[in-house]
Structure 1
Amino acid sequence: MDKREFVASFSVKVDTRRIAFEVSPAPLYDGPEGFYRVRAARLWIDTPDKKPRFFDKAGLARLVEDMAFGGLPDPPKAPSIPYPSRVSVRFWRNGMPYYIGSWTNTAPILDYTGEWVVNVSIDGKRVFVSVRSVVVHGGKSRG
């Protein structure tokens, strides 16, 4: 279920780059009442150990100040999966991994959660899967 519900948004211009921020109530993410969860440039701002981070109003003000004068960290570097590539995709069944061979339909894409995904063909359908579940074969691609 997609919990995203934004109650406010703003943007900060850093040099020539404008960063959009979206603010969502923390209780939607099991956070405390009166706090907020924030997305910056379509990526959730999390704690260093990848848990949801929550801000009160003073924390939001400090965040805006930090971003305006310090910039944003760069998004994670795109994994090197050439398009199109022959791959195996790992799935789990009864607690055991199994693999399905496929071809990539796209280069890696950063999704709204901040995870790198790639589109592959599985059983006649095109689906996005985490790049962590993909094994590229032989460095060769078709095309």
Structure 2
Amino acid sequence: MDKRKITASCLLKIHGRAVRVQLSPAAIYGGPEGAYRVRVNRIWRNGYDGNPLFVDRAALSALLADALCGVPLLDAPSPDLPCDARICVNIRRGEDVYETAEGWTYSMPIRADDGQWYVLVSAQGRRFFANCADVRLLPPAAQPGRVRRSRGR
């Protein structure tokens, strides 16, 4: 159990659910003086690079304001999209116009600076990063053997 000092906390109610936000001085975690480390529902928040997230007062207020506007405070887990898997991807062709194409994944999902998960895909003769929300795996029968075996199917 972490016995580090919690200097402040607040309880938010977001979409009918209670969310407890706690602050601890960043200096005891190797962060800058005057900044804080944030814990949400007993889970320490980390940056997109996986290192501890340290916020100053301005970043803390932006974080709380975003939370009250519906931006998730807890990091979303990595999507379950294996490398070298057969997929179907939605490709934007204009405002609110999507085209669906089959292709392959060429990487594991990565989180970009915008907080969204992306995966490198190959579809329609080109490679590009697609938002994981626009990608779905094809059925197990369409997957190569190594992907079926790794997924326990």
Q: TM-score, normalised by structure 1?
A: 0.51
- Counting aligned pairs with the same residue, the percent is 21
Name the aligned partner's letter for residue 100 of structure 1.
A
Number of the residue aligned with 1:118: 119
Gaps of 5+ in 1: 1-9, 24-34, 39-43, 52-72
* Counterparts of residues 1-143 of structure 1 (less than 5 Å): 13=29, 19-21=52-54, 36-37=58-59, 45=63, 46-48=66-68, 49-50=70-71, 75-94=75-94, 95-139=96-140, 140-142=142-144
Q: CA, structure 1 residues 50+134, in 2 after alignment: closer, same or farther (shift >3 Å)?
A: same
2-structure distance, mates of 1:114, 1:11: 25
1-structure distance, mates of 2:124, 2:27: 42
Number of the residue aligned with 1:54: none
2-structure distance, mates of 1:12, 1:117: 33
Bigger RCO (CA 8 Å, 6+ sep): 1
Name the aligned partner's letter for residue 58 of structure 2.
Y
Question: Number of matched residues?
Answer: 96
TM-superposed CA distance for 1:37, in Å, is 3.9
Gaps of 5+ in 2: 1-25, 30-36, 38-43, 147-153
Kindly indicate whether the alpha-carbon contact (under 8 Å) linking 2:103 and 2:124 is maintained by their aligned counterparts in 1. no
RMSD between aligned residues: 3.4
Q: TM-score, normalised by structure 2?
A: 0.48
